A and B are shown apart, each in its own frame.
Chain A
Amino acid sequence: MKSYGYVLFYSTSAALRTEKVAKILNIPVKLVSVPRQLGSDCGVCIQFDTAYEEGIRELLESKRIEYSRIHI
Chain B
Amino acid sequence: MIYLDNSATSFPKPETVGQAMLNFINNIGANPGRSGHVLSIEAAKVVYYAREEIAELFGVSDPLRVVFSSNATESINMAIKGMCKPGDHVLVSPMEHNAVMRCLENCRSHDVSFSVLPSNDEGMVLVDKMAEAILPNTVLIIVNHVSNVSGLIQPIREIGKTAKELNIPFLIDAAQSAGVFDINMETDNIDLVAFTGHKALYGPQGTGGLVIADEFSHDRIAPLKYGGTGSKSECEVQPSFLPDKFESGTQNAVGIAGLLEGVKYIKKIGLDNIRAKEKELAKRLYEGLSSIPGIKIYSKNNENYASTIPFTIDSITTSEISDILNEKYGVLCRAGLHCSPGAHSKIGTYPDGTARLSPGWFTTQEEIDKTIEAIKEMVNGS
Contact = CB atoms under 8 A, between A and B. Distances in A.
B132 interface: no
Given A31-B41, A41-B231, A43-B40, A12 B33 contact: yes
A63 interface: yes
Nearest to A11: B231
Interface in B12-69: 32-37, 40-41, 44-45, 47-48, 51-52, 62-64
B41 A44 contact: yes
Interface string B76-88: 0000000000000
Contacts of A65: 64
Contacts of A11: 33, 229-231, 239, 241, 244
Interface in A43-72: 43-44, 63-66
Interface SS of B by simple majority: loop
Kindly state the interface size class of chain B when it binds its partner.
20 to 34
Taking each of A16, A34, A65, which has the highest tally of chain B beta carbons within 10 Å of its own beta carbon? A16
Interface in A1-40: 9-14, 16-17, 20, 31, 33-34
A42 B234 contact: no
B256 to A, nearest CB: 12
A33 to B, nearest CB: 4
B232 A10 contact: yes
Given A16-B48, A20-B52, A66 B230 contact: no
Contact of B48 (A10, A17, A41): A17
B36 A13 contact: no
Contacts of A63: 62
B171 to A, nearest CB: 22
Contacts, number: 65
Contacts of A33: 36-37
Contact of B33 (A13, A34, A64): A13
A13 B64 contact: yes
Given A41-B231, A42-B231, A43-B36, A12 B64 contact: no
Given A10-B241, A10-B244, A42 B64 contact: no
A65 B231 CA distance: 14
Given A16-B45, A64-B62, A10 B52 contact: no
A64 B218 CA distance: 13
Nearest to B35: A43
Contacts of B51: 13
Contacts of A12: 32-33, 40-41, 44, 48, 230-231
B123 interface: no
B304 interface: no
A45 to B, nearest CB: 9
Nearest to A44: B36
A26 B47 CA distance: 23
B32 to A, nearest CB: 7
A11 B239 CA distance: 10
Contacts of B40: 12, 43
B41 A10 contact: no
B243 interface: yes
A3 to B, nearest CB: 22
Given A16-B44, A31-B41, A10 B231 contact: yes
B233 interface: yes
A72 to B, nearest CB: 21
Contact of B243 (A13, A31, A44, A64): A13
Interface in B347-362: none
17 contacts: A10-B244, A11-B33, A11-B230, A12-B32, A12-B33, A13-B47, A13-B48, A17-B48, A17-B62, A31-B41, A33-B36, A41-B230, A41-B232, A42-B33, A42-B36, A43-B34, A66-B242
Given A17-B48, A41-B232, 13 more contacts: A10-B241, A11-B231, A12-B40, A12-B48, A12-B231, A13-B47, A20-B52, A31-B41, A33-B36, A41-B230, A42-B230, A43-B34, A44-B36
Interface of B: 32-37, 40-41, 44-45, 47-48, 51-52, 62-64, 229-234, 239, 241-244
The 8 closest A-B pairs by CB, nearest first: A43-B36, A12-B33, A11-B231, A66-B241, A16-B48, A10-B231, A33-B36, A12-B44
